[in-house]
């Protein structure tokens, strides 16, 4: 895993602005990569950390593929992309993966860096229901991905509302979101349908090699 050079005080010398993209990544797909690239370009991020979920409080009813497979697919998907880093902080922890805990640990590791947590438009409207949202915002700004003209007025109203409650912490991220989900990819694999357009070639080959999602339960 690529790491930044650290100084004696624990600060990161080569990075100043770090994006964090979390999720189950079950599997990672081209939509995730497009959002990360858009964030890096629009907010001058030095890197984007891909943080796969360990023990998610929101997916306790869903069978999640083993973390070793999910991490391997992320590593393959970003292998040719500078500035995209796999961070296994959550999968190596036995604790429930609450975002406020993860951000606290990342801020402790990257003390001198400005952190930007990347989420989708749907999550923006759910954010206040997350565990300890104020503690999340203590350590990072929020980049909320959306597509122009897709419920834009409602989205920007939510950004404005949240910024009044938590001043200057939320920023709109214009991203070409791919109209497919990891769940749909798993379903397509189960049905023997192609996923060529939705995941990187190396990820598709990995799924086939390890026979993932053949017995997927929705």
Instruction: Indicate if the alpha-carbon torsion angle 123, 127, 132, 134 is positive or negative.
Output: positive
Q: What is the mean pLDDT of the chain?
A: 89
Return the SS3 of 117.
strand
Query: What is the percentage of the chain residues whose pLDDT exceeds 90?
Result: 77
The 10s digit of each residue's pLDDT in 2-42 is 334 344 444 456 789 999 999 999 999 999 999 999 999 99
The 10s digit of each residue's pLDDT in 43-91 is 999 999 999 998 877 654 457 899 999 999 999 999 999 999 999 999 9
Instruction: Indicate if the alpha-carbon torsion angle 113, 82, 170, 139 is positive or negative.
Output: negative
Instruction: Please tell me the predicted confidence (pLDDT) of residue 150.
Output: 63
Q: Which residue has the higher pLDDT, 109 or 179?
A: 109
The strand pairing partners of 69, in sequence order, are: none
Instruction: Check whether 1 has a pLDDT greater than 50.
Output: no
> What's the CA gap between 159 and 153, in Å, rounded?
10
Instruction: Check whether 177 has a pLDDT greater than 90.
Output: no
> Cis peptide leading into 191, omega within 30 of 0?
no
What are the helix (H) ranges across 166-200? 182-190
> What's the CA gap between 32 and 196, in Å, rounded?
15
């Amino acid at each position: 895993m690529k790491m930044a050079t650290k100084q004696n005080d624990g600060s990161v010398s080569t990075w100043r602005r770090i994006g964090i993209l979390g999720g189950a990544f079950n599997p990672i797909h081209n939509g995730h990569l497009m959002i990360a690239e858009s964030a890096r370009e629009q907010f001058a991020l030095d890197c984007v950390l891909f943080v796969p979920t360990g023990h998610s409080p929101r997916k306790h009813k869903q069978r999640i593929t083993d973390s070793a497979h999910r991490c391997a697919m992320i590593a393959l998907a970003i292998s040719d992309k500078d500035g995209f880093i796999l961070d296994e902080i959550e999968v190596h922890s036995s604790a429930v993966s609450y975002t406020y805990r993860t951000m606290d640990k990342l801020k402790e590791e990257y003390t001198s860096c400005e952190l930007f947590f990347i989420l989708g438009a749907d999550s923006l409207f759910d954010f206040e229901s997350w565990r300890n949202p104020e503690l999340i915002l203590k350590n990072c700004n929020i980049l909320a991905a959306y597509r122009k003209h897709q419920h834009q007025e409602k989205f920007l109203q939510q950004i404005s509302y949240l910024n009044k409650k938590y001043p200057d912490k939320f920023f709109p991220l214009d991203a070409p979101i791919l109209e497919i989900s990891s769940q749909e990819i798993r379903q397509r694999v189960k049905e023997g349908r192609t996923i060529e357009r939705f995941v990187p070639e190396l990820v598709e080959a990995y799924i086939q090699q390890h026979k993932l999602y053949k017995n997927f339960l929705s």
